[in-house]
A and B are shown apart, each in its own frame.
Chain A
Amino acid sequence: MFEATAQNRRNLKVEGLFRLLFLWMTCMLILPVALILGVLIVRGGPAISWEFLFTQPLNNMTAGGILPALVGTVWLVVVALIASVPVGVAAALYLSEYAPDNRLTRAINLAIINLAGVPSIVHALFGLGAFVIFFRFGTSILAASLTLAVMTLPVVIVATRESLQTVPLAFREACWNMGATRWQTIRKIVLPNSISGILTGVILEVSRTSGETAPIMFTGAAFFLPFLPQGVLDQTMAMSLHLFVISTQVPDVPEHMPFGVALVLISMVLAMNGISIAFRVYLRGRKKW
C-alpha cells in the first residue's frame, strides 16, 4: 500500500534535480567572489609590507606607501560615527520603544528605506550642496563625514532597532510595574540587554563607511595630499578614493600597487563584517531568554 508509485518516483527525481539546480545557482553567486578574492590575494599580497602601509606615497603615487589614505579613512569613519551613532540610536529607540503604529511612523520607516536606497552619488550631491556650500564647511573631513553619516544612518537604525526588539516585552513590563518611567526602563533594562547588538550594528557601519567612495569624492577626499590631516576642517586622502585614483587616473602605476590597495581595503571591510557576524553568533549562543 505504501509502495512508491511511478508518479512518486518521478516527483522525487524532479525534486532532486531542482535541489541541485538551486544549489548550483547559490554557488554561482559565491564562487566568483571567492575566485576574485583569491586573485586579489595572489596579485596584491606581494605589495603588502609594513613599509607599504606606513609610508607616504612617492613619485606621483607610483611608489611608496598608503599611510595618508589609511589615516584619512580612519578620520572619516570616526567623525562619521560620532555624528551618526547618537542620532541612529535615538531614532531606533523611538521606533522600537515609543512609536505608535501611525502615519508618522510609516513615513519615518519609508524615509529610512529611501536613505538606504538613494544612489551614493546623490548623497554626494547632497553633501556638496548642504555641507560644503550651504553650511560653509568647505571640502573637509567634516563635510565628507557628515555625508557618510547621513548615508549610513539606516545601517545603525536598522541594526539597533532589531537588537532592541529582541529584549522581551516582559522585561519592560516588570520594570514599569515597579513605577519606573519609560526612560528609566530603557536606561536600566533595555539598553544593557541590547548593547552588544547595537555594537554589532556600529561595526557594520564602520565597514560600510570605510568602503564608500562616491559620497566623499567632492566633499572632502583629495586625490593626493602628501601629509596627514590635522583637524576636521582639513581635506584628506582615503583608501577607497585612492584605489580609484591609482587604478584609473594616474599613468604608470606598477600593477601590484592597486591590487595591494584593493586587498587592504577589502581585508578591512571583510574583517569588520566578520567580527560583527562572529559577535552576533556568539551573542545568540549566550542569550539568557
Chain B
Amino acid sequence: MPEVAHAADRRDAAWWIDRAVQILVLAGGLSAIVFIAGIFVFITREGAGFVFDRFDFREFFGSPRWTPTSSHNPTYGALALIAGTASVTGLAMLVSVPFSLGAAIYIGEFATGRVRETLKVLVELLAAIPSVVWGFIGLSIMNPLIIQVFDVPVGLNVLNAGVILGLMAAPIMTTIAEDALKAVPDTYREAAEAMGATRWQVTFKVVLPAARNGLVAATLLGVGRGFGETMAVLMASGHSINLPTSPFDSVRALTATIAAELGETAAGSDHYGALFTLGIFLFLVTFAINFAADVFVRGGQRKHRRRGRRPAASANP
C-alpha cells in the first residue's frame, strides 16, 4: 500500500528536529565521559615526559625527600606528601565518620517534620562553604586556638587540618548516609516494630545492617573528599615536609604541593612533570574510591529491591 503513509514513517520537520535533538542530548550525556577521559589524557600528556624519563617507582613511593628545586640533586620522593595527606584525612575521618553517621541517624530515624527539614537544610548549607574560607578559618581562628589550648608553638598542623577537613567532609557523608537509611524499606521497620522493638532497637538491629553498603559508600566518598581537598589543607596543615609522628606536627599534602609549587615551575621541566605525576596519582586514587563507592551503593540498592519484592511475590503465588 504505497499510497498510505505508515504512521511511524512520518519524516516531517518535527521528526527531523526530534532526531537532531536526540543526537544533541546524547552528545551532552557523552560529554561527561569525554571530560573524565579528557582529564586523564591531558594530565597524562603533561606528566608523560616525567613518568617515562625520570620517574622512579621506589623513590616516588619510598623516599620522603621531596626536593624538586635543589640545583644539584633534585629528588622526587612523595612518601612524606602521601603520609601528610593520609594523616590529615585519617584524623578527619576519625572526627567526622562517627558524627556524620550519628547525625544521619538522628535526621533520618529520630527527627520528624520541621526539625528534620531544618537540619537537612543546615547540613546542606555546611556543604556550601568554600574550601578557601575553611582554610582561612584554620589559619586565623583554629591556629591561635590550638596554640593556646595545647600550648604548642605552631597551630598549623595535622590536628588543625584534620578538624577542618572533618567538618568539610561531614555534610556529604551525612547526606549520603541519610539517603542510604532512607533506602531501607519501611516494611523492615514495621516488621521489627511489630515485634515490640523500640525505635533504637529497630535502628541498630535492622536499619543499620540493611543500610551497611550505603554507609560504607558514604564513608568512602568522605575519604575521597578529604583526600582531594586542596585549599583548606594547604592553608591549615602548615605545609612543611614531614613524616608526622603526632597530631601537632606540620605536614604537607599531595594536593597542597601541586597548588603551592605549580605556579613557580617552567612548563616541561622535571618539576612540572613531577607535579602532574602527583596529579595522575591523585586522579587514579580518587577514581578508585568513587568507583568502589558506586559499587557499594549499587549493591545496596539491588539488595533492597530483591528483598523488598519477595513478600509481594509470596502473597500472589
A interface residues with partner B (beta carbon < 8 Å):
11-12, 14-15, 18-19, 21-23, 25-26, 28-30, 32-33, 36, 39, 86-95, 97-99, 105, 107-115, 117-126, 128-130, 133-134, 150, 153-154, 157, 181-184, 186, 207-208, 210-214, 217-218, 240-241, 243-244, 247-248, 258-259, 262, 265-266, 269-270, 272-274, 277
| In contact, A153 and B32 (Cβ under 8 angstroms) | yes
Whether the pair A120, B230 counts as a contact (CB closer than 8 A) is yes
**B42 — which chain A residues lie within 8 A by C-beta?**
125-126, 129-130, 134
B123 with A184: CB separation less than 8 A: no
Contacts of A123 in B (CB 8 A): 39
Could you name 29 residue pairs across A and B whose Cβ atoms are closer than 8 Å?
Answer: A11-B200, A21-B102, A25-B106, A94-B25, A94-B28, A105-B29, A110-B290, A113-B294, A117-B224, A119-B255, A119-B282, A121-B258, A122-B39, A125-B43, A125-B276, A133-B267, A181-B14, A181-B15, A181-B18, A182-B18, A184-B14, A211-B133, A217-B259, A247-B139, A247-B140, A259-B140, A266-B133, A270-B129, A273-B125
Interfacial chain B residues near A218, Cβ < 8 Å:
262-263
Q: Which of B107, B129, B130, B279 has the most chain A CB within a 10 Å cutoff?
A: B130
- Whether A22 contacts B103 by the Cβ 8 Å rule is yes
Q: Is the CB of A29 within 8 A of B174?
A: yes
A26 to B123, CA, bound (A): 9
Name A33's closest neighbour in chain B (CB-CB). Answer: B126
**Which chain B residue lies CB-closest to A261?**
B136
Residues 58-97 (chain B) with a chain A CB within 8 angstroms: none
CB contact between B230 and one of A32, A121, A157 (< 8 Å): that residue: A121
Other-chain residue from B32, B100, B227, B294 in contact with A91 (beta carbon distance below 8 A) = B32
Residues of B within 8 A of A157 (CB): 32
- Total number of residue pairs linking A and B with CB closer than 8 Å: 273
Is the pair B29, A265 in contact by a Cβ cutoff of 8 Å?
no
User: Is chain A's binding surface mostly helix, strand, loop or mixed?
Assistant: helix
Q: Point out the residues of chain A lying under 8 angstroms from B103, CB to CB.
A: 22, 25-26, 29
Question: Which secondary structure characterizes the binding site on chain B?
Answer: helix
Given A36-B137, A94-B26, A262-B133, A115 and B36 contact (CB-CB distance below 8 Å): yes
Task: Tell me the bound Cα distance from A94 to B33 in angstroms.
Answer: 13
- Complex Cα gap A269–B39 (Å): 27
Contacts A26-B107, A207-B128, A218-B263 given; indicate if A125 touches B279 (C-beta within 8 A).
Answer: yes
CA distance in complex: A184, B19 (Å): 11
Q: Which of A11, A183, A266 contacts B17 (CB 8 A)?
A: A183
**Do B30 and A122 have beta carbons less than 8 Å apart?**
no
Residues of B within 8 A of A (CB): 14-15, 17-18, 21-22, 24-33, 35-36, 38-39, 42-43, 45-46, 98-100, 102-103, 105-107, 110, 119, 121-126, 128-133, 135-137, 139-141, 167, 170-171, 174, 198-201, 221, 224-225, 227-231, 235, 255, 258-259, 262-263, 267, 275-276, 279, 282-283, 286-287, 289-291, 293-294
Chain B residues, CB < 8 A from A262: 133, 136-137
- Given the known A-B contacts A11-B201, A91-B32, are A29 and B167 also in contact in the complex, defined by CB atoms under 8 Å? yes
The reply to whether A126 and B25 contact each other, CB–CB distance below 8 Å, is no
5 A-B pairs with least C-beta separation: A90-B28, A211-B130, A119-B228, A25-B102, A94-B29
Contact status B140-A258, CB under 8 Å: yes
* CB–CB B99/A29 < 8 A: yes
**In the bound complex, do residue A28 and residue B140 qualify as a contact, i.e. CB atoms below 8 Å apart?**
no
Choose from B99, B267, B276, B294 the contact partner of A28 (Cβ within 8 Å): B99
B235 touches A248 (CB 8 A): yes
Partner of A111, one of B33, B224, B293: B33
Determine the chain A residues whose CB is within 8 A of the CB of B255 once the complex forms. Answer: 119-121, 214
